[in-house]
Amino acid sequence: MKKMLLTGVLLALSGAGAVKVGVLLPLTGAGSVSGQAARSGYLLALDEINRAGGVLGKPLEVEFADDGSSPAKAVPEFVKLVTVEKVDFMAGGVSSATSIAISGPAKQYNTFMAWIGAAAVPVEDAFADHPYFFHYHPWSYYNFEAILGYFKTLKTQKKAKNIAIAYEDGPFGSAGIADTVAAFKKAGFNVVMTEKFKTGSGNFGPIVSKAKAAKPDIFYWVGYDTDALPLATEIKQQNLQLGLLYGTPPSWPVGFEKNKLSDNVAGLSLWLPASPQAESRKFVAAYKKKFGTVTEEYFAPLAYVNLKTLAAAINKAGSTDKDKVAAELARTNTPTPFGPLTFSKSNKTQYQGFKAGNWLHFQFLGDDRVPVFPIRFAQKPMVWGK
Amino acid sequence: MELFLQTLLNGLLQSGIYALVASGLALAVGVVGIVNFAHGEFLMIGAFLAWALSAYLGVDPLISLPFAALAVFGVGALTYRVSIRHVLLAPELNQMLLTFGLGILLQNVALMWLGGNTRTVTTPYQGSSLSLGDLSVGGPKAVAFGFAVAILAGLYAVLYRTTLGRQMRAVAQNRRGSQLIGIDVDRVYLIAFAVSCALAAVAGVLVAVLLFASPTVGLVFALKAFAIIVMAGLGNLTGVLWASVVLGVSEALVQTYVPGGGGWSDAVFFLLIFATLVFRSFRGAR
């Protein structure tokens, strides 16, 4: 009896039988701003989960792996987590390119995936028939739906009619650009310029000159953080008169809000520290207590929600059986910093979390990102430049 | 007509940045005879120094410029002592592999140390511009162009009007002959390589003001600089400015007047290299 008790204690202390979640993130490379933010969110959630008793009566274990923002690195890291570390569930995933790359092994090992990023439609195609794929981040068509909704409001309220589009020539900017233009036209806008650019080149002189000749009300750019300041600088230098400069980079440059050239630049975010929801305020307070700062990156609360909801579903399921956990996660209905989270079908996947209605539109005003739309979340009136 | 003139102006201003980056590379190729694939990473160090001094000490990048140049001069001298000098007599492939590896090392050290975040510098003159009728000239780009002209003129003066410059030209022409007449070849190489790195840092400081600082910022400009020194003729300093103007204006014209031209800007410089090399070989054959 004593021997059995001792074995049981040793087993519990060694953590054997504990639930393991593998988290694949871009901790280095181009996507590292979002990846590092997500890691902080996971660590905060892990603290809270284990303080509250863990999962299935044991401390939850999280195993982080760095995909280096590269599909070539993501695949072996994913396979290692699943086969060597033998994680029970996989979470994380920021980049679309890395998520597509691991779709093969994910199906091969029939991996349970609670995925936070990867908004591109090809990822949706790749995981369309995967029975354990829970996607938290809105798909790109939901993002565009939110943008179009905002622009339609600007059309009504500010008489915005002409849109100039500049997009980076990689998959992020180029995929679906024809549909974007068609959707703007269908909504009654004149698309007066559609130009591609090399991201990171900083060479926006010719594009801004062309835009100036086309006289747009809204300048909509799809690119990365590296393009934000050069574009804003060129627009200011060439004195291009706009109603709004609106961008959708996955992250913004560090310190951009402190630069005067960022004034009135607008963008899209799932969340801002100033978001008024009670869950958001709780998250900000907990984050500040743990890390001493406040993050502006929405991947931090997204990762936090991801792990908390996964842990709750495992506890409700009472085991790590994938079908039981999937059934419980599918029933999720919980308040989050982004608003309530429930899963429903998207165009092609079974379990889609956040959708178009969760997006916030903000402007850089003063030294902050301030929500300006939807109106119910607006903290200041939007500044229209014309 | 206004769009055409503004396009020419855009190209001309862009060429100033290209010339700044290429001038240092031309010096390394022309004097030391080494193709430095890490040139963009020395630019990156300059950009980060400007950002760090601005973000933490509030120093304006234009004031930090000589400090960045001096610091990277030191890094360049150390790099030469530790690595470059040991491969100068090795096959060119080994030299290229060394500098290529050095570039990857510096980039990854920056990624590990500073992360992949893009950093921006804030100055009161970033958005400044000068109006010429309906045309506008961006202030920082005009300054960069002025720097490029001044640096190239200064380099030319040093090469043709000073003892060190004569030594550099002698070493570039004939290493062994220079040793025989008592020139300390190793010292000349060290100075030339370190000055080349310092020039990359100067370009980096201006790139930080104009664009951003990030671990990968040097790559784009290093590629353009290679195109420029090929167009100018390896080691030809005076040709660097003209080649930069040709590249900058060609890119601007393609971006403005070719449908989808923004995606063709990389192709423009490869096309120019191709055309230059074909033209040179054709002229050489005659």
Q: How confident is the model over A145-187, as pLDDT tens digits? A: 999 999 999 999 999 999 999 998 877 788 778 989 999 999 9
Contacts of B133 in chain A (CB under 8 A): none
**What number is the average pLDDT over the span A282-300?**
94
pLDDT of res. A11: 41
Q: Is residue B235 part of a domain?
A: no
pLDDT of res. A325: 97
- B129 CB within 8 Å of a chain A CB: yes
Q: Hey, how many other C-beta atoms are within 10 angstroms of the C-beta on A191?
A: 18
Contacts of A196 in chain B (CB under 8 A): 260, 262-263
Question: Nearest chain B Cα to A195, which residue?
Answer: B260
Task: Give the pair of three-digit tokens for residue B159.
Answer: 């090469």
**What number is the average pLDDT over the span B263-286?**
78
CB nearest to B10's CB, from A28, A205, A258: A205
The verdict on a CB contact (< 8 Å) between A230 and B210 is: yes
What is the distance between the alpha carbons of residues A309 and A233, in angstroms, rounded to a whole number? 42
Q: Which domain holds residue B160?
A: 16-217
Mutate to test the interface with B, among A181, A192, A237, A251 (most CBs of B within 10 A): A237
What is the distance between the alpha carbons of residues B43 and A323, in angstroms, rounded to a whole number? 54
* Whole-number Cα distances in Å, A379 to A271, A282, A374, B78, B258: 13, 19, 10, 54, 43
Question: Nearest chain B Cα to A169, which residue?
Answer: B263
pTM: 0.81
Q: Is residue B253 part of a domain?
A: no
**pLDDT surpasses 60 at A214:** yes
**pLDDT surpasses 70 at B149:** yes
Contacts of B268 in chain A (CB under 8 A): none
CB nearest to A169's CB, from B10, B122, B263: B263
What is the distance between the alpha carbons of residues A135 and B57, in angstroms, rounded to a whole number? 44
pLDDT tens string B79-115: 999 999 999 888 888 888 999 999 999 988 888 888 7
Task: Give the pair of three-digit tokens for residue B21.
Answer: 């980056």
The verdict on a CB contact (< 8 Å) between B262 and A255 is: no
Residue spans of alpha helices (H) in B211-236: 217-232
pLDDT of res. A192: 96
pLDDT of res. B2: 81
C-alpha radius of gyration, chain A, whole number: 22
| CA angle (A220 as vertex; A216, A226 as ends), nearest 5 | 130
Structural contact between residues A306 and A116, judged by C-beta atoms closer than 8 angstroms:
yes
| Mean per-residue pLDDT over chain B, rounded | 89
Helix (H) or strand (E) holding A91: strand A89-92
The verdict on a CB contact (< 8 Å) between A206 and B111 is: no
CATH superfamily name and code, A141-269+360-377: Response regulator (3.40.50.2300)
Q: Check: CATH 1.10.287.1080 for A18-138+276-354?
A: no
> What's the number of domains chain B is made of?
1
DSSP A160: -
* Whole-number Cα distances in Å, A124 to A92, A197, A292, B267: 16, 26, 37, 33
Q: Which of A74-78, A246-250, A347-351, B37-41 has the lowest mean pLDDT?
A: A246-250
The band of A16, judged by pLDDT with boundaries at 50, 70 and 90, is low
What's the full length of chain A, in residues?
386
Strand partners, A363: A266, A370
Contacts of B124 in chain A (CB under 8 A): 260
**pLDDT surpasses 90 at A191:** yes
Pick B274 or B199 by higher pLDDT.
B199
pLDDT of res. A2: 52
Q: What percent of chain A has pLDDT over 90?
A: 68
Helix pair B217-232, B237-257: axis angle to 10 deg: 120
**pLDDT surpasses 60 at A7:** no
Q: Which of A3-17, A151-165, B1-15, B231-245 has the lowest mean pLDDT?
A: A3-17
The verdict on a CB contact (< 8 Å) between B212 and A28 is: no
Q: Hey, how many other C-beta atoms are within 10 angstroms of the C-beta on A124?
A: 22
Contacts of B207 in chain A (CB under 8 A): 202
How many alpha carbons lie under 13 Å from residue B119 in its C-beta half-sphere?
26
Contacts of B111 in chain A (CB under 8 A): 28-29, 32
Structural contact between residues B235 and B172, judged by C-beta atoms closer than 8 angstroms:
yes
- B34 CB within 8 Å of a chain A CB: no
Q: Is residue B229 part of a domain?
A: no
What is the distance between the alpha carbons of residues B48 and A358, in angstroms, rounded to a whole number? 37
DSSP A58: B
Structural contact between residues B148 and B244, judged by C-beta atoms closer than 8 angstroms:
yes
**pLDDT surpasses 80 at B269:** no
- B220 CB within 8 Å of a chain A CB: yes
CA-nearest of A337, A354, A300 to A36 is A300
Mutate to test the interface with A, among B120, B220, B249 (most CBs of A within 10 A): B120
Q: Is residue B6 part of a domain?
A: no
**pLDDT surpasses 50 at A15:** no
Structural contact between residues B157 and B238, judged by C-beta atoms closer than 8 angstroms:
no
Contacts of B261 in chain A (CB under 8 A): 195, 206
Contacts of A260 in chain B (CB under 8 A): 122, 124, 126-127
Mutate to test the interface with A, among B212, B221, B265, B269 (most CBs of A within 10 A): B212
- B104 CB within 8 Å of a chain A CB: no
Contacts of A225 in chain B (CB under 8 A): 117-118
- B216 CB within 8 Å of a chain A CB: yes
Structural contact between residues B152 and B239, judged by C-beta atoms closer than 8 angstroms:
no
Mutate to test the interface with B, among A177, A238, A240 (most CBs of B within 10 A): A238
Give residue A207's Cα distance to chain centre: 28
Name the residue type at position B216.
Answer: T
Does the ipTM exceed 0.85?
Answer: no
- Tell me if residue A353 falls in helix, strand or coil: coil
Residue spans of alpha helices (H) in chain A: 2-14, 32-51, 71-79, 96-101, 103-108, 121-126, 140-158, 171-174, 177-186, 205-214, 225-237, 278-291, 299-317, 322-330
Structural contact between residues A383 and A245, judged by C-beta atoms closer than 8 angstroms:
no
On the question of a common fold for A18-138+276-354 and A141-269+360-377, the answer reads yes
- Tell me if residue A376 falls in helix, strand or coil: helix
pLDDT of res. A357: 87
CB nearest to B265's CB, from A203, A224, A236: A203
Which residues of B, range 138-167, sit inside 8 Å of A by Cβ? 138-141
| CA angle (A168 as vertex; A175, A136 as ends), nearest 5 | 55
Phi-psi sector, A318: left (phi>0), alpha (psi -120 to 50), beta: left
Name the residue type at position A54.
Answer: G
Evaluate the CA torsion angle A294, A300, A301, A305 in order and state its sign. Answer: negative
- B266 CB within 8 Å of a chain A CB: yes
Q: Where are the domains of chain A?
A: 18-138+276-354, 141-269+360-377
pLDDT tens string B161-197: 999 999 999 998 888 899 899 999 999 999 999 999 9
Nearest chain B CA: its distance from A202 CA (Å): 6
The verdict on a CB contact (< 8 Å) between B127 and A260 is: yes
Contacts of B55 (CB under 8 A, 6+ apart): A255, B119, B121
Specify the pairing of strand A244-247 against strand A351-352: unpaired
The verdict on a CB contact (< 8 Å) between B117 and A32 is: yes
CA-nearest of A27, A35, A21, A40 to A304 is A40
